[in-house]
Amino acid sequence: MARKTTVRKAPYTPDGSLLHFPGGYHPFSHYEDVVTGERLEREQIWEKLDPPIVGSMFAQIERTIRPSGSWRLVCLGPEWRDNIPFSATFQLDHVQSGWSAKYVILTAVNDLLDTRIFPMFVTDLLDTAIKQGIAVGGIMHGRWMVAKRGQNYGLRVARDDE
């Protein structure tokens, strides 16, 4: 009997991309007004200095234009979703290196406006190639689930009993 997945929840970004490593800094953060909670754009807080102010040890290239204490940086953690099998078509996009291993990035090709990305461990890429093949152009169709190796997450082919 095939073993069941032990990954119950998986980390996703607000746009629906799977996070390879859920810890640390996330690029999906924003600024907000402390009093009103209104979302602020970076340009409403910082301005570029042209030319920069050059000191003996550094150059100041930006300065705040909004009073300190009137805004804050809000960092959003990952959204933990149930790990359920789903059907999708992906294309191999590129290879990335993490701290412990290389992995591939897959892009969703179900819709031209779909900008989500999904990491996949190289081991699972080889398993995908052997079990179901990879079409010309790096296209892969199938049923997928999230796997976890160490502290990292990536897609894998879903087993028949999942």
Task: Determine contact, residues 47/65, Cβ cutoff 8 Å.
Answer: yes
Query: Which has more pLDDT, 83 or 54?
Result: 83
Whether 54 and 121 share a structural domain: no
Whether 107 and 83 share a structural domain: yes
The answer to whether residue 71 sits within a structural domain is yes
| CA-based radius of gyration for the chain | 21
- Which range of residues forms the domain containing residue 113? 9-23+77-157
Task: Determine contact, residues 41/97, Cβ cutoff 8 Å.
Answer: no
Query: Which has more pLDDT, 97 or 85?
Result: 85
The answer to whether residue 111 sits within a structural domain is yes
Q: What is the mean pLDDT of the segment spanning 43-61?
A: 78
Whether 123 and 141 share a structural domain: yes
Pairing, β 9-12 against β 79-82 = antiparallel
Whether 15 and 90 share a structural domain: yes
The answer to whether residue 1 sits within a structural domain is no
pLDDT at 2: 47
Whether 49 and 118 share a structural domain: no
Domain count, the chain: 2
pLDDT band at 111 (very low <50, low <70, confident <90, very high): confident
Task: Determine contact, residues 117/106, Cβ cutoff 8 Å.
Answer: yes
Task: Determine contact, residues 11/78, Cβ cutoff 8 Å.
Answer: yes
- Whether 13 shows a pLDDT value over 50: the answer reads yes
pLDDT at 4: 52
Q: What is the distance between the alpha carbons of residues 152 and 101, in angstroms, rounded to a whole number?
A: 10
pLDDT at 28: 66
pLDDT band at 6 (very low <50, low <70, confident <90, very high): confident
Whether 18 and 62 share a structural domain: no
Whether 17 and 67 share a structural domain: no
Whether 82 and 122 share a structural domain: yes
Task: Output the pTM of the full model.
Answer: 0.71
Whether 18 and 96 share a structural domain: yes
User: To the nearest whole number, what is the mean pLDDT of the chain?
Assistant: 85
pLDDT at 1: 40
pLDDT band at 117 (very low <50, low <70, confident <90, very high): very high
Whether 84 and 148 share a structural domain: yes
Whether 89 and 64 share a structural domain: no
